[in-house]
Amino acid sequence: MDTENRPKVLVSRRLPKEGMNLLYRYCDVQLAVEDRVITRTELLEGVRGKQGLLSMITDRVDAEVMDANPQLKVISNYAVGYDNIDVEEASRRGIAVTNTPGVLTDATADMTWALLMDIARRVTEGDRVNRSGGWREWAPMFMLGKEVTGSTLGIIGLGRIGKAVAKRARGFNMQILYHSRTRLSREEEKQWGVEYRELHELLREADFVSLHAPSTPETRGMIGRKELSAMKSSAYLINTARGDLVDEKALVKALSQEEIAGAGLDVYEKEPRLAEGLKESDRVVLAPHLGSATRETRGRMAEMAAQNLIDELRGGPSDYRINDPDRD
């Protein structure tokens, strides 16, 4: 791009160098002053006069933000999910929206298994006991957990990440059940080693229930009081998808009343706040949204988000545009 006429872009939070270097090469970059979630005022002021916005999943990009800058051409989201963006409104205004799919599949699937193994074998709980001096001797009945190998795994949402979790489960000789908006063909079910179940059947049968659905009006709160009551008292819930899939108050109650054995969470309804009673429970492992948090994955995400923005500013479409902007 012409160095004298580089497009102006706002980056709402510092990215790994793979993305920042690319942006500095081709764009006139305004970076948020502090490395924290940008405030609403800062976002509204910062987006003015910019052709591009590189947003985080923590940024609410709605009509108000778009009103602040009628010249905005592209919103590049540094995430796979984009429920933080009013995509329909962006499309009406001719603004392209992009995301970063695929790149974090393996990292998030690995995180799912980290939580599953942790809560099943009581690793974090045991760490707390050990550090506090609570472990004095080996004993046959001390801190017994759940055996993972040979158990039944229920996957809700069999997209890229759900399939990657299923692939890992085969190494543990697990029976793998799934529920998804679109059922796979018989050939695909055989290929992935999975069996379809209606949601209530999956919840009743699974030893581990792992959530991998997107956040939509239909899926928000999909695991509530009724669904938790349907699970085995010996079962565990794992969520590395979106926090609002789970009614956290209902989960706290299910844990306190021992209706389920435990939970492993990486995402929350109102991040970073936790529902009252959640952090006090010894039956839950609480990770601070680490699903994609490897150096390799976050670097690739940054490079992809930057390239999406640059491609769209050059006329597009980028490889990962998620809408059909009504451009003149």
Q: What pLDDT score was predicted for residue 144?
A: 97
Percent of the chain with pLDDT over 90: 95
Contact assessment for residue 179 and residue 198, using Cβ atoms and an 8 Å cutoff: yes
Active site residues: 242, 271, 289
pLDDT tens, residue by residue, 142-160:
999 999 999 999 999 999 9
Looking at residue 328, what is its pLDDT? 56
How confident is the model over 162-193, as pLDDT tens digits? 999 999 999 999 999 999 999 999 999 999 99
Q: With a cut of 90, say whether residue 19 has pLDDT above it.
A: yes
CB 2 within 8 A of CB 25: no
Q: Which whole number is the average pLDDT over 59-64?
A: 98
pLDDT in tens, 195-235: 999 999 999 999 999 999 999 999 999 999 999 999 999 99
Q: 2 pLDDT band (50/70/90 cuts)?
A: low
Question: Does the pLDDT value for residue 289 go beyond 90?
Answer: yes
| DSSP one-letter code for 243 | G
Q: Are 86 and 67 in contact (CB under 8 A)?
A: no
Alpha-carbon distances, residue 311 vs 29, 81, 118, 304 (angstroms): 15, 20, 41, 10
Mean pLDDT over 132-141 rounds to 95
Task: Please check whether residue 73 is in contact with residue 313, taking contact to mean a CB–CB distance below 8 angstroms.
Answer: yes
For the cut 60, the answer to whether the pLDDT of residue 90 exceeds it is: yes
User: pTM for this structure?
Assistant: 0.90
Measured in whole angstroms, the distance separating CA 47 from the mean position of its chain's CA atoms is 25
The pLDDT score that the predictor gives to residue 3 is 59
How would you write 261-290 as a 3-class SS string?
A: CEEEECCCCECCECCCCCCCCCCEEECCCC
Q: Tens of pLDDT along 299-309?
A: 999 999 999 99
- Give 5's pLDDT tier (boundaries 50, 70, 90): confident
Enumerate residues 6+ apart whose C-beta is below 8 A from 206: 152, 153, 154, 177, 231, 232, 235
